[in-house]
Amino acid sequence: MAEVLLFHHALGLTPGVRRFAAHLTMAGHTVHLPDLYEGRIFDDLAAGLAHAQQVGFGTLVERGRHAAEGLPETLVYAGFSLGVLPAQALAQTRPGTRGAVFVEACLSATEFGDGWPAGVPVQVHGMDADAVFVDEGDLAAARALVDGAARGELFLYPGKRHLFADDGLPSYDPAAAALLVDRVRGFLSAVG
């Protein structure tokens, strides 16, 4: 079984993110859920992003690095939207990475070094008409990253919802979220 460090989206460590983690735990995986916002939760994406900007994206990445301290090197790093930032930074820079799962965001493979680490499997998930994922360059970055990885997969779900896997939000899509959970469980079983 895999050990996962899962980072929340821009609304914070919501009950929906916790329930997503519980789906993975029920499958036998160990999931760590750091709170990058130190207890703050937002109801509105714009307010959550404003908070992230105020805290600073570099600070959020450092909080992610701090969350990994004391955990085994052989982690799978995962993140939802904004949480992909620390997840990808760790996946690309921390030795021993077992894999990475990015949901609704992806950065260039050169953002945190010279490219994606050899032999590290990656999955990227997003909706095919999500303006945040598609129009802001994340989909293009995901395609390039997956093409350059030895074991990479990109899964596109029909729809335009952002944060579709958080069951506590109006953007929740039950069918897409269930498929996401199944695919992530399969990935974790393969790398764990």
The SS3 call for residue 101 is: strand
> pLDDT (tens digit, 0 to 9) for every residue of the chain, 192 residues total?
999 999 999 999 999 999 999 999 999 999 999 999 999 999 999 999 999 999 999 999 999 999 999 999 999 999 999 999 999 999 999 999 999 999 999 999 999 988 999 999 999 999 999 999 999 999 999 999 999 998 999 999 999 999 999 999 999 999 999 999 999 999 999 998
pLDDT at 172 (0 to 100): 98
Question: Measured at the alpha carbon of residue 62, what is the angle toward residues 88 and 153, in degrees to the nearest 5?
Answer: 5
Instruction: List domains and CATH numbers for the chain.
Output: 3-191 (3.40.50.1820)
pLDDT at 9 (0 to 100): 98
Tokens describing residue 177: 């979220």
The model's pTM is 0.97
Of 2, 7, 19, the closest CA to residue 188 belongs to 2
Q: How far is CA 61 from CA 11, 36, 109, 181, in A?
A: 16, 9, 16, 25
